[in-house]
Structure 1
Amino acid sequence: MIKRVSPPGKDPDAVPRNPQAAHVLQKKDFVDRVVAASGAKKADARPIIEATLAQLGKALSAGETLAVPPLGRARVNLERDQRGGEIITLRLRRRPSSIQQSAD
């Protein structure tokens, strides 16, 4: 079940995990990491990565729960439409083995 919220506002219960500004991974850097990890050519990997990201975005916009190991299970908790686009808040559940794999 997706909780839809119309009026903009801040969640008073939301507490940031780390008060410092989070590092933003840009798509270019993401593509570079995938190419390095897979050994694929950048020209071959880029359209596949872009199509994958587009499908993930469509699924999340539709409110679908994603079960994508080793990333984990992502469920839409909150969806809000605003002037600049939609805001989707996710709950991401990861298994300890997935967390260890991503740290390596």
Structure 2
Amino acid sequence: MPPPLAALPDPHAATVVPKRDFIDRVVAATGTRRAEARPIIEATLDQLGQILSSGQTLAVPPLGRARINLERDARGGDVITLRLRRRASPAAPIVVEKP
């Protein structure tokens, strides 16, 4: 029997991960120093934004394939709605070993 409607999670509720926490997670996963990782992460995020803003489809496993579903101008900037297609079961976490 399916759960009652009140028990279903809100599909629009999301926990926001700030950039600082995102960088901390990458640093913890890779074992690099924050000073080394931060400029690389920021350049990566900048390139992701530029690629998607230009209307290109981004195919980056294990993230998946992201393409623009809807784009419109809003107050203060562009609003881009993405469609992200991922594998059914995510791959094992990436482990980076430092020499």
TM-score, with normalisation over the residues of structure 1? 0.75
Gaps spanning 5+ residues in structure 2: where? 1-8, 94-99
Taking a change above 3 Å as real, the CA distance of residues 72 and 19 of structure 1, as seen in their structure-2 partners, is: closer
Give the deviation of 1:53 after TM superposition: 0.1
Equivalent position of 1:61 in the other structure: 53
TM-score, with normalisation over the residues of structure 2? 0.79
Deviations 1:62-84 (A, max 9, x none): 01100000000001010011121
Higher CA-based Rg: 2
CA distance in structure 2 between the aligned counterparts of 1:49 and 1:96, rounded to whole angstroms: 26
The sequence identity of aligned pairs, in percent, is 68
> Which one of the candidate residues 27, 32, 35 is aligned to 1:40?
32
Question: With CA pairs under 8 Å and 6+ residues apart, which has the higher RCO, 1 or 2?
Answer: 1
CA distance in structure 2 between the aligned counterparts of 1:50 and 1:74, rounded to whole angstroms: 19
CA distance in structure 2 between the aligned counterparts of 1:45 and 1:87, rounded to whole angstroms: 28
Runs of 4+ aligned structure 1 residues displaced above 2 Å come to 17-21
Give the deviation of 1:58 after TM superposition: 0.3
Equivalent position of 1:26 in the other structure: 18
- Tell whether 2:92 aligns with 1:101: yes
Taking a change above 3 Å as real, the CA distance of residues 61 and 34 of structure 1, as seen in their structure-2 partners, is: same
- Kindly tell me the number of residue pairs found equivalent between the two proteins: 85
